[in-house]
Amino acid sequence: MNKNIIKNKQKQRRQARVRAKIHGTATRPRLSVFRSLQYIYCQLIDDDAGKTVATVNDKKSKGKKIEKAKQVGLDIAKVALAAKINSVIFDRGSYRYHGRIKAAADGAREGGLKF
């Protein structure tokens, strides 16, 4: 089997394992983080309604990747507080909780969100 297919299946398993334990609601949505090679994206997702409440990315930011990830966390916290959302459930996806994922979570906490 192709190596990329195997890696993709392993990533999907890790993501499903994390996703099975968490569920976002309207009052406490899921804060999902996606990390590409160049950018980082954060979404607030209401799983009951199946809708995205808010989304933020770092496409127009300058600086190092970890600094941009922290800024995305601060921005998503600002948007969430404007929508009267104080607490969220953090969804790291298939990524380890370190580096840019941790920086985004720390930025969201600094911005006023509770996990």
Each residue of 25-59: pLDDT tens digit? Answer: 999 999 999 999 999 999 999 999 999 999 999 99
Q: What is the pLDDT of residue 1?
A: 77
Residue with tokens 């950018």: 39
Each residue of 61-106: pLDDT tens digit? Answer: 999 999 999 999 999 999 999 999 999 999 999 999 999 999 999 9
Contact residues for 24 (Cβ-Cβ < 8 A; gap 6+): 30, 44, 45, 46, 47, 48, 88, 89, 91
Write phi, then psi, for 98 (nearest 5 degrees). Answer: -160, 170
Q: What is the pLDDT of residue 53?
A: 95
Angle at 51 between CA 45 and CA 56, to 5 degrees: 50
> How many whole angstroms separate alpha carbon 110 and alpha carbon 115?
11
Number of domains in the chain: 1
Give the structural domain span for 59: 3-111
CATH no. for residue 58?
3.30.420.100
Give kind and range of the element (H or E) at residue 34: strand 30-35
Q: What is the pLDDT of residue 83?
A: 95
- Residue 5: pLDDT band with limits 50, 70, 90: very high
Q: What is the pLDDT of residue 57?
A: 97
